Each structure stands twice: as C-alpha cells, then as structure tokens.
C-alpha cells in the first residue's frame, strides 16, 4: 500500500481534531507532531519528554535533535507553535518517559501497529478517503510545505532523500495541482 498525503486543510483539521474531541490527547499529539515534524513513525514513537521539554527550566525546547533510525543521520527539527501547543495540552496528562506511552505496557511506547490503528480510526471517522497511514503524516507535511512555496530541494534535505524523484512522489502532486498551475498562468 502506497500512502498518500492529506491534501485538504479542512480534512486535515477534522482528522487531527477527531482525537481531541474524543479527549485522547496522546493520539491527538501523535497526529499533530507527526505532521509538524515530518518524522518517520519509528522516530516519532521513540521520542521521550526530554527531547521536547526542559524540566529544569519548565519550558519546551525550540528544536528536537535526534539520530534517524533509518538513515543514521543527525537531524534537527524546529518545533512550531502548533506542535508546542499540542504538547503543552498533553504534558500534564502524560504517563511515563515516552511521549506516546502505551496504556498497557509500563515504560514503553505504543507500537507502530497501534499508531497505524490510531491514524486509521481518525481517518475513517472523518471519511478521509485515500490510502491514509502512518507515512501520510510525513507526506502531508511535505505537501503543504510545497504548496506554501518551499523549494523541492529544501524538502529533499528535510526528508534526507537522495533524489528529486523520491521527493516528488512524496508530495503526492495530483492532477488538480497541475490544473491549478495551468489555469493560474497569466502570461499576456
């Protein structure tokens, strides 16, 4: 299954807010942080509170720093306001060291399968069509960054892709996107 980005901002908001309305802040933060950081699900699930929060100074860090599991490369990711706001809502209710701690297994993060279930449940609940899975969060980041004018070469660097072709597939550019370019061109 090839996952797709979520291309509609209203659907993205409904998708993220599904878990917020259910009162499940952990699952809400999983979606928000997944989209805002473009991390692979394995790296996202490994995050601990000290990666995002300075307990001594009682404030959120401006950046996450980590070594990517897949590539072994050092990565620095700025936390935006939306990510920090979501984390701030969840922090008082969190359990354990892992941000995405399991409800069943003390001191362990949820599994990739559980993350997939969380994402699929929200997608189905809001009638989000398409192949939506864990990687959709990462792809959604790139899609909206690209739509906001981010150069593909910058996205290649963020994703640690070795070719533009891989990044182009990630962006999930559709015929509607191509049509908007054609229709928006006023050359004369």
Q: Going residue by residue through the chain (188 aa), what tens digit of pLDDT does each one get?
A: 689 999 999 999 999 999 999 999 999 999 999 999 999 999 999 999 999 999 999 999 999 999 999 989 999 999 999 999 999 999 988 877 999 999 887 779 999 999 999 999 999 999 998 899 999 999 999 999 998 999 989 999 999 988 888 888 888 777 888 788 788 877 77
DSSP state of 92: G
3-state helix, strand, coil in the chain (%, to 5): 55, 10, 35
Task: Count other C-beta atoms under 10 Å from residue 176's C-beta.
Answer: 8
CA count, 13 A, side-chain hemisphere, 153 = 0
- What is residue 11's predicted lDDT score, i.e. its pLDDT? 97
Q: Please state whether the predicted TM-score (pTM) of the whole model is above 0.95.
A: no
- What is residue 121's predicted lDDT score, i.e. its pLDDT? 97
CATH class given for the domain over 9-183 = mainly alpha
Residue with token string 């790139």: 142
């Amino acid at each position: 299954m090839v996952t797709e980005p979520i291309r509609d901002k209203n659907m993205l908001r409904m998708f993220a807010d599904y878990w917020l309305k259910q009162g499940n802040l952990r699952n809400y933060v999983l979606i928000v942080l997944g989209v805002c950081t473009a991390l692979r699900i394995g790296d996202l699930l490994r995050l601990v509170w000290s990666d995002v929060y300075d307990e001594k100074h009682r404030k959120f860090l401006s950046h996450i720093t980590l070594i990517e599991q897949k590539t072994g490369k050092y990565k620095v990711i700025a936390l935006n306001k939306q990510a920090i706001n979501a984390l701030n809502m969840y922090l008082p209710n969190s359990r354990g060291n892992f941000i995405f701690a399991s409800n069943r297994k003390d001191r362990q993060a949820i599994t990739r399968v559980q993350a997939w279930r969380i994402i699929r449940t929200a997608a189905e609940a809001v009638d989000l069509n398409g192949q939506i899975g864990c990687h959709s969060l990462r792809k959604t980041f790139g899609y909206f960054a690209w739509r906001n004018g981010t150069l593909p070469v910058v996205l290649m660097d963020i994703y640690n892709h070795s070719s533009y072709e891989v990044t182009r597939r990630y962006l999930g550019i559709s015929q509607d996107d191509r049509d908007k370019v054609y229709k928006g061109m006023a050359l004369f």
